[in-house]
Amino acid sequence: MDAFGELQNITLEEYLTLLEQMKQAALWDMDSFLEKEKYTGDIRSGSFLGVRLRYRDDEDCLYADCFSAGPRPFTRLHPDLWQFMEEESEELLINEDFDEPAENKFYWEVTKYIRCRDRFYEQYAVIYSLKREILGVEGYPYDFERRTFRDLNYEVCFSEEQKFILGRARQLKDPVNVVLPYHPGDILYVNANPFGKPFYAVYCAETVSDRDHFEWTKKEYGFYKREHPCLYISEDKKGLDITDLCGWFTDYIPFPYAPLDRIKVVDTCGDPVLLKAAEMLKEDPVIFRKWLDWRETGQSLEGKILAVEGVTI
C-alpha cells in the first residue's frame, strides 16, 4: 500500500502535464546542480552527467550502448554536453546506411550521478532524440528510499528539482491511477520510436480485475487501479498477446515511462485479427474476460478469435 498511498485518480491531461513538468525540472537541474550540491557532512563533490548513445537493433533485439567504455562524463548540460550530442547526432542523421531514418533507431540517454561518501548513485535519466528533443525522464528513487540512506540524511543536498523527479518517478513509470479516454474496441496506434517499432493495439478494458476486485482497489489504495489492457501482435511471442498501457510493457520495449503521450486512436489497421477483435469488443466488451481465460490456459488467442462466427471486418 505504501507505493500508492498518496495517489488519486487523474486524467490523461494531468498525466501529460506531469510529464512536461518532469522534463522542465530535469532541464533546470542538469545545468544548475553543481551550485546546489555543497559539502554536507559526508557529501563530497563529484556529481556528473553521464551520456550514452543507444540504438535499437531489430534483428538481434538489442538496446545497446554505442560507447563500449561506458557513459562519457560531463559537468553540466550546456554548453559542452549539448555540443557533443549535436555533433554526434548530425553524423548519424546524414548517414544513409540504415534501413530507416536514424532518429527512429538511435537516442541519447543522459544519466545524473550523485556522489555520497565513496559511491555514485544514479538519480535520474533524461532521454533525448537525435534532434535533441526530450523524449522522457526516468527517476531512480529506489536507493534513496532505503533506510540506510535516509538515516544518513543525504537528501538534504538534493535540489527541489531532484526531489520532484524522485518523488514522481513511480507515477510516470506505472500510472495505474490514470483514467484514459478510450473505449473497448478502439484501435490505437502506438509510436514506439526509437525504443521499439510502432505498432497497433486494440483497447480491451479499464482493468484486468473483475468488478469486486476493482471496487476493492478503491478501498485499499484510495483510487481505482486501472491497467488498461490491450490486445496486440507480440513479436516476442509470435502472435496475439495482452499487455498493459500502464505498467511493464511486453516485447522488452524499454519505454522510460508509460507511453501515454505516444498513442493515437485510428480508424483501422492492416491486421485482420486485430480488426475482428475490435469489432467483437464493440459488440460485447465482456468477451475480454474470455480472452483472459484463454490466455491463462495457454490457448491461442488468434485461433479462438478467428474461429468466432458472425463478426465481419
For 129, phi and psi rounded to 5 degrees? -80, 170
For 151, phi and psi rounded to 5 degrees? -65, -25
For 112, phi and psi rounded to 5 degrees? -90, 120
Check the CA dihedral 49-55-60-61 and report its sign: positive
Q: What DSSP designation does 48 have?
A: E
- The C-alpha cell 523524449 sits at 135
Neighbours of 239 (CB within 10 A): 13
The SS3 of residue 50 is: strand
Q: Digits of tens for pLDDT over the chain (313 positions)?
A: 344 446 788 999 999 999 999 999 999 999 886 554 544 444 445 688 999 998 886 654 444 556 655 688 888 899 999 999 999 999 999 988 888 899 998 999 999 998 776 778 899 999 999 999 999 999 998 888 776 666 566 667 788 899 899 999 988 888 888 999 999 999 999 999 998 889 999 999 988 887 888 888 888 888 888 889 999 998 877 888 888 888 666 667 888 888 999 999 999 998 999 999 999 999 999 999 888 888 888 888 888 888 765 544 4
Alpha carbon 217 to its chain's center: 23
pLDDT at position 237 is 77
Alpha-helical regions (H) of the chain: 12-36, 82-93, 147-150, 160-167, 169-173, 211-221, 272-283, 287-296, 301-307
Neighbours of 68 (CB within 10 A): 6
Which residue from 45, 53, 33, 166 is spatially nearest to 110, judged by alpha carbons?
53
Neighbours of 13 (CB within 10 A): 10
The SS3 of residue 312 is: coil
Quote the pTM value: 0.85
- Residue 263 half-sphere exposure toward CB, CA atoms < 13 A: 20
